[in-house]
């Protein structure tokens, strides 16, 4: 049987995908890469325009801190309820909500009413305080 692929086509999971379709799909693939450098290399490989830096995952980048006030400490549940300013890296407006904490020892350091500065992330869909500073 003869191959139906054009020499410029790229095979994805053993399915021939025309090059013009790959140029549309590659920005989506690039957006989930681990580093900006690998995203640029991949985009260059398929002759697509590189994505802006903001669209690339920031794994390993510095943390983004937000100010907040502790409203509740739940030691048994490993959670802090925080009235917080907008959390830029999570695109979250000012609100009050509960977060898991990366280190349970932090629950011993804070009490209701404490003003804090914290960094939050969303690993595996669980909003988590990953860094905490008391003011």
Higher pLDDT, 92 or 12: 92
Mean pLDDT of 75-104: 96
**DSSP annotation string for 54-119:** GGS--TTPPP-EEEEEEEEEETTTTEEEEEE--BGGGTB-SEEEEEEES-TTHHHH--TT-EEEEE
- Give the model's pLDDT for residue 21: 58
- Burial code (b: 16+ CB inside 10 Å, e: under 16) for 86-110 equals ebeeeebeeeebebbbbeeebbeeb
pLDDT digits (tens, 9 = 90+) for 40-64: 444 444 444 433 333 333 344 589 9
| Reported confidence tier of residue 100, pLDDT bands at 50, 70, 90 | very high
CB atoms within 10 A of CB 25: 14
Could you tell me the domains of the chain?
A: 10-55 (no CATH), 65-134 (2.40.50.320)
All residues at 6 or more sequence positions from 110 whose CB lies less than 8 Å from its CB, including other chains = 70, 73, 80, 116, 132, 134
**Average pLDDT of every residue of the chain:** 74
């Amino acid at each position: 049987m003869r191959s139906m692929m054009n020499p410029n086509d790229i095979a994805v999971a053993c399915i021939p995908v025309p090059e013009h379709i790959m140029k549309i799909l590659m920005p989506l693939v690039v957006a989930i890469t681990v580093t900006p450098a690998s995203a640029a290399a991949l985009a260059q490989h398929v002759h697509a325009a590189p994505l802006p830096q903001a669209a690339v995952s920031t794994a390993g980048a510095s943390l983004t801190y937000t100010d907040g006030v502790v409203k509740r400490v739940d030691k048994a549940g490993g959670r802090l309820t925080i009235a917080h300013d907008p959390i830029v890296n999570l695109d979250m407006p000012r609100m009050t909500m509960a977060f898991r904490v990366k280190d349970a020892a932090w629950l011993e350091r804070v009490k209701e009413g404490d003003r804090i500065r914290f960094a939050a992330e969303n690993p595996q869909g669980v909003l988590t305080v990953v860094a905490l500073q008391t003011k």
